[in-house]
Structure 1
Amino acid sequence: MPRTTRRDQPPPRTADSEADVLRGFLDYLRSSVAAKVAGAPEPEVRGAQVPSGTNLLGLLHHLDHVERATFLGERITNWQATFQAPPQDTVEDVVARYEETVRRANAVLDRCTDLAAPVPTAPAGRRAPSARWALVHLIEETGRHAGHADILRERIDGATGR
């Protein structure tokens, strides 16, 4: 298998405010995981690369749902199902949908001037988390799955780096 190596990108240099640092690191992770999925070959991108059944395209599809639930107030009723992208969706479809969700989530975050205040969107009947909690949660979730994506992509075609 040919190995493709990309140069790693260093962590972002952000402004000094807490919001800028949190958003800078979240956007860094978001772009890293999207780049890891972009260009991955079919059908390998959908195939389980580890015994748990985890697949690269499913990870990005799942992260799209996490963003939608956390920042856009969508209610997810079957989290396990979010780990499989619909069979009719291409890699490009899933990446584009994720990037659009990130754009919409950032528009919501732009309205969050107080990190202690709740995110302005929440599913009906549920209390919204604080913007600070939501940002930290998405950094944790995206970072965790970005690490998984690194390993899965390397197993698929040898591509490494961010």
Structure 2
Amino acid sequence: MRTTAGGTASAARGDLRPPASDGDERTTLLTCLRYLREAVIAKTAGLTDAAAREPGVPSGTSLLWLVKHLTAVEANWFEWAYAGGAGEPADDEAPVGERETARELVAAYRAAAERSDRIVAACEDLGRPGARSLRETPPPTLRWILTHMIEETARHAGHADILRERLDGAVGR
């Protein structure tokens, strides 16, 4: 992130500032995760669907693919693994369809995040293991899932920063 002479990011570029939270563990973890989700979504703002779908690296990663991927990851960890949802996990490597729009994918991501937040709110003990795991390990606790989702979303928010800068030069959070 570029900074001004005073060391803070320019608000004129639409930067999202890190949240201030001095709450309990659940509140702090959710506040950080929500901030990162919005940082990813903000990177799609003002772009055409074609631009947001444009791969910015040889692997084919695009801003819309990141949003679609994070939607699936939210559903997989919170709904399928922790809450024990029916069916199979979502395909978190699925490509963006030609007819999928940024508006639809962002709405789906927000809906998945809301479902995840409801699961977190309903859990009385963050240390309770979930129903199953997406890995070859025992089911993780909700605390681990929240921490993992902060890490996963932050990593992809960094990718989104780079992709957006490559598209139109926009920098910041």
Q: Same fold (TM over 0.5)?
A: yes
Alignment of 1:2-151 (within 5 A): 6-73=13-80, 75-76=88-89, 78-81=91-94, 84-119=95-130, 122=132, 128-151=139-162
Distance in 1 between residues matched to 2:56 and 2:67, nearest whole Å: 15
| Structure 2 gaps, min length 5 | 1-11
| Structure 1 gaps, min length 5 | none
Calculate the aligned-residue CA RMSD, in Å. 2.2
TM-score (norm 2): 0.80
Q: Once superposed, which parts of structure 1, at least 4 consecutive aligned residues long, lie more than 4 Å away?
A: none
Distance in 1 between residues matched to 2:60 and 2:157, nearest whole Å: 16
Q: Which residue type is aligned with residue 42 of structure 2?
A: A
Deviations 1:95-142, CA, capped at 9 Å, x for gaps: 0110011111101110122110124x658xx96421101001100000
Q: Is the 1:38–1:95 Cα contact (8 Å) retained in structure 2?
A: no
Distance in 1 between residues matched to 2:21 and 2:102, nearest whole Å: 30
| Identical counterparts, % of pairs | 42
Task: Please report how far the alpha carbon of residue 161 of structure 1 lies from its aligned counterpart in structure 2 after TM superposition.
Answer: 2.2
After superposing the two structures, state which structure 1 stretch, 134-143 or 110-119, moved more: 110-119
TM-score (norm 1): 0.85
Q: Is the 1:85–1:94 Cα contact (8 Å) retained in structure 2?
A: no
Q: Which residue type is aligned with residue 41 of structure 1?
A: T
Q: Is the 1:109–1:131 Cα contact (8 Å) retained in structure 2?
A: yes
